[in-house]
Amino acid sequence: MNPDVLIIGGGIQGCASAYHLTKAGVRVTVLEKDWVSRHASGVNAGGVRMLGRHLAEVELSKASMALWAQLDDELDDDTGYRARSLINIASDEADMATLRAREKKMHSVGHFHEKIIDQQELRQRLPHVAPHCIGGVISEADGYAIPYKSTLAFRRAAERHGARFIEGETVRAIRQVGNSWLVKAQRSDYEAGQLLNCAGAWADKIAVMMGDNVPMSYSAPMLMITTRMPHFATPVVGAVSRPLSFKQFENGTVLIGGGAKGFADRDANRTRLDYSKLAAGSKNAIEFFPIMKTAAINRMWAGLEAYMPDNLPVIGPCTQANNGYHAFGFSAHGFQMGPIVGKVMAELIIKGGSAFSLDAFRVDRFERKVL
Amino acid sequence: MSDSTLQDSYDIAIIGAGPAGMSAAITASTAGASVVVIDDKARPGGQIYRNVGNSPLHNSDLLGADYLQGRSLIDSFNNCPAEKLSAANVWHLGENGEVLFSQNQQTRSLSAREVIVTVGAMERPFPINGWHLPGVMSAGSAQVMLKSDGLVCDDAVFVGTGPLLYLIVAQYLRLGVRVRALVDTTPVSNYIQSIRYLPGALAHARMLAKGLGLLNEIRRSGTAVYRFAREVKIVGEGRASGVCFQAKGQTHQLDSNHIFLHQGVIPNLNMTRSLGLKHRWCSQQLCWKPTINNWGQSSIDSIAVAGDGGGIVGAEGAELSGKLAALNQLHRLGRIDKRQRDSQAAPSQHRLQHLNRFRQYIDRLYSPQDQQRLPQQDDTVVCRCEEQNLGQLRAGFDQGARGPNELKSLTRCGMGPCQGRQCGHTVSELLAQWRDEPVEAVGYYRLRSPMRLLNLTELSQFSRVQPKPDLEFNSSSTADSDSDIKSIKGAAQ
């Protein structure tokens, strides 16, 4: 029997959408070209944050945070989610000025979850921070989760509601005839009334097959992780104006990110690392936290991630076809949004609309620009 | 070590200065290629010839004639024109020939047109109950402590199979160290099944005699030898207090605070896997090997693998394969023509074929038992770094983790500092068993650089500017100071 909805891509967006759809009684099949959570959803930094979001994303991000808070119960699984707070560190007065301007803007539209902290409070919360750091901004509800486990938790919950996941199945061609999407994949053909594109770093190819051109690019954000260290940082840490981001997990390992990008070879499913950029990231980590001087790096990696020119995702219906939808291009900050995006996509597909304003995320938002 | 200036690029970069690396360097550099050899130890020689020229023992002759044979190779290597970097840790090798290494707390980079990877072998993990307990060590580690620091310990029990195990026991006995027992796990069936390879091995009567000589030497010493041992378990709460096994229908328990395990060696995969080279499962040696041709050339044509890192060949085989890899790369670089390459290679190729026939016999005779490669009980630890046992991995498999990488993501098995060295083969074989598919279909961990733990400060000192050499190094001891371990520097009479 054909499913009602065919989802292309078994990352967190695809799995969360499959969960919310099947929970509402919709029949869903997910096609994944490798295996579920193989790419960005499984290897990202696991940041679950509202702090510093683009204004267009704040409502969705806040709603997603509410879902994260009870996600383990909802999915009856272990996502590894921990609310530890997130602090972006200011290292000079210019940073503090940036924070005050941001605060003013956020307050003016009614968002109060980001709070500026002074040097004393910064040191209380992060005793090992370097002396030159003078303050920062904190979002108390932020934290992290374990990406692979979180994505798998959605998958398993969706499967319990009847979703089918087909792994190792690459989509080759898509066409729409009448009310049916006909999808030709590597091993088999599929048919469904509704089609959802959650194909991550490959989503622009799927979008084109569905009739939407989109100026998406892709890259390979890099991460590295240390061996276990004595506990020294509870909050997740970032910096206002420097590419620094790290978090210490409960087992003592420290994950260091910061958004530096390696080299992506999308066709070969591979990434190469840019070690000089990782070296710069190491320098920053040591400069902000001298205790990291002796940290031993255990592993380094990168994942393939989709980026949009404005670093905002595409969330919403196809413009060129009926019954087609997109959720991709999260530009390296989509993990936290996964739970709410799944819910929004289910609402769009089932009810034809969402309570959230999705205008900033339209797939054709770049079409109107005259260059 | 040379004082000349390190260049930022070379014709050939050789990773490792064991027999394969040294011989490749001699062949390539004397033919005029610019060659750099990067080795992580303070002195050349690799594992087999560790500290040959600088033994802490007063009478290193007791370590055996083979060990000393390395001296002449090391002398030729030291005299060849290759640039030699010692105590330099390669932590990234790119398929483009980029080499990143740490030396003196700094990250340095260079690049090469051709690369020869000679990273050697490691001891095969021995995942039986209790193998992770303090007091249990690999026999090879015991030998490293002996060769580099002259440290030994009395009354240890040696357990396992293979020539290296017998050699280490014999070396101990020659130095007057008491050995509690040798528990030999070579099963009767191996003796029977290896007979058909015996004719090929007879051409190497000297090597066969040497092996038998070691066993006789151990027996004559009065050391207890238990043969055909099965169901081996380490016993002890919190640390090893003994070993329990069955032999000839009887259950034995030997008390000892030091158990040394060994069941052969396998290629060290971390560099060849991180490079993304193609690998195949070798059923003769029960291990993964990079796929290479007769010249050691890998699936990336500018990268060759020689020595035990490409499949276990032994010291002599490593030396020959290093030479062959170098000759082929000299040809690729246009320094010699095909005819020159082939004629210079012929004697080595011939000898290598001979050795391979002997190897077939040895591999069959000392093939490790299934029950010592595949953990049998749920509480047997598989991944030592992340403390994952058989039961936990099985649960991960039952949750849907079909491949090594999914299992790693789900259970953290293989995520620790050893980068899967200790659990990789076990996990491949376990998944193959559970899936009822060939190991080849299961695959191995997707590995990445760094190939060893990398200090954050070292990495932050990264620079692409031309590095300046600083080649003064001291070897340092890393052995722990366990009270039972004693120094025998100068003790041998």
pTM > 0.95 = no
Q: Report the pLDDT value the prediction gives residue B19, as an integer from 0 to 100.
A: 96
pLDDT tens digits for range B226-247: 999 999 999 999 999 999 999 9
Inter-residue contact B112 to B90 (CB < 8 Å): no
CB contact under 8 A, B448 and A226: no
The H-or-E segment that residue B36 falls in is strand B35-38
**Orientation angle between helical segments B390-398 and B404-411, nearest 10 degrees:** 110
Residue of A nearest to B399 (CA): A156
Q: What is the pLDDT of residue B7?
A: 81
Residue whose tokens read 């026999």: B139
pLDDT of residue B70: 85
- In tens, the pLDDT along B1-47 reads 443 457 889 999 999 999 999 999 999 999 999 999 999 999 998 88
CA-to-CA distance for B169 and B184, rounded, in angstroms?
Answer: 12
SS3 B89: strand
Which value does ipTM take for this structure?
A: 0.83
Residues of B in contact with A226 (CB under 8 A): 456
Residue A263, chain B, CB below 8 Å: the answer is: no
Is A297 part of the contact surface with chain B (CB cutoff 8 Å)? yes
Q: How far is CA B169 from each of CA A41, B63, B265, B445, rounded to the nearest angstrom?
A: 51, 11, 17, 34
Q: What is the predicted pLDDT for the residue at B62?
A: 63
Tell me the Cα Rg of chain B.
22
Between B94, B409, B448, which is nearest A299 by CB? B448
- CB contacts of A252 in chain B (<8 Å) are none
Q: Is B457 within 8 Å of A294 when comparing Cβ atoms? A: yes
Q: What is the pLDDT of residues A121-145, one digit of tens each?
A: 999 999 999 999 999 999 999 999 9
Distance from CA of A48 to the nearest CA of B (A): 19
Task: Give contacts of B410 with chain A, Cβ < 8 Å.
Answer: 148-149, 152
Which residues in chain B have their CB less than 8 angstroms from residue A278's CB?
A: 459, 462
Q: How far does the CA of residue A185 sit from the closest CA of chain B (Å)?
A: 22
**Nearest-by-Cβ selection for B456 from A42, A148, A282:** A282
* Angstroms from A136 CA to nearest CA on chain B: 25
A148 CB within 8 Å of a chain B CB: yes
B448 touches chain A (CB under 8 A): yes
pLDDT of B452 reads 84
Contact A35 B457 (CB under 8 A): no
Contacting residues of A for B448, CB less than 8 Å apart: 273, 299-301
Of the candidates B100, B406, B415, the beta carbon closest to that of A35 is on B406
Provide the H-helix boundaries in B285-380.
314-332, 338-365, 370-373
- Chain B nearest-CA distance from A251, in A, is 10
* Inter-chain touch B107–A279, beta carbons under 8 Å: yes
- Amino acid B425: pLDDT: 97
List Cα–Cα distances, A173 to A197, A210, A211, in angstroms: 13, 9, 12
pLDDT value for B209: 82
On whether the CB atoms of residues A4 and A194 are closer than 8 A, the answer is yes
Chain A nearest-CA distance from B323, in A, is: 31
**pLDDT tens string B62-99:** 666 676 778 889 999 999 999 999 999 999 999 999 99
What is the distance in angstroms between the Cα of B13 and the nearest Cα belonging to chain A?
19
* Helix, strand, coil percent content, chain A, rounded in steps of 5: 30, 30, 40
CA A19, CA B113: separation in Å to the nearest integer?
51
Q: In the prediction, which pLDDT does B143 show?
A: 86
pLDDT in tens, B270-298: 999 999 999 999 999 999 999 999 999 99
DSSP letter (8 states) at residue A34: S
Query: What one-character DSSP code corresponds to residue B297?
Result: B
CB-nearest to B417 from A285, A294, A298 is A298
Per-residue pLDDT of B123-153, as tens digits, reads 999 999 999 999 999 999 888 888 777 788 8
The chain A residue lying nearest B465, using CA atoms, is A276
Say what the pLDDT of residue B489 is.
46
Percentage with pLDDT > 90 across chain B: 71
Check if the beta carbon of residue A88 is closer than 8 Å to that of residue A52. Answer: yes
Max alpha carbon distance in chain B (Å)? 67
pLDDT at B119: 95
Q: How far is A294 from chain B (nearest CA, A)?
A: 6
- List of long-range contacts for B357-362, beta carbons under 8 Å, 24+ apart: B357/B197, B357/B200, B357/B201, B357/B203, B358/B200, B358/B201, B358/B203, B358/B204, B358/B207, B359/B312, B359/B313, B359/B314, B359/B317, B360/B197, B360/B200, B360/B201, B360/B284, B361/B194, B361/B197, B361/B198, B361/B200, B361/B201, B362/B163, B362/B201
Task: Please write the tens of the pLDDT for every residue from B456-483.
Answer: 988 888 765 444 444 443 333 333 334 4
In sequence order, the β-bridge partners of residue B82 are none
> Is A351 at the interface with chain B, CB within 8 A?
no
What pLDDT, on a 0 to 100 scale, did the predictor assign at position B193? 92
Quick check: B455 contacting A, CB < 8 Å? yes
Q: Is A232 on the interface with B (CB under 8 A)?
A: no
Q: Which neighbouring-strand residues pair with B153?
A: B485
pLDDT < 70 positions in chain A: 368-371
Chain B interface mutation, best of A35, A297, A301, A304, highest count of B Cβ atoms under 10 Å: A297
Cβ–Cβ pairs < 8 A, chains A and B: 80
pLDDT band at B56 (very low <50, low <70, confident <90, very high): low
Residue B349 predicted with pLDDT over 70: yes
Interchain contact A229–B (C-beta under 8 A): no
Q: Is B419 on the interface with A (CB under 8 A)?
A: yes
Strand partners, A31: A8, A166
Q: Is A269 within 8 Å of chain B by CB?
A: no
Mark yes or no for CB contact B460/A283 under 8 Å.
yes
By Cβ distance, the residue of A273, A293, A300 closest to B457 is: A293
State the pLDDT at residue B486: 58
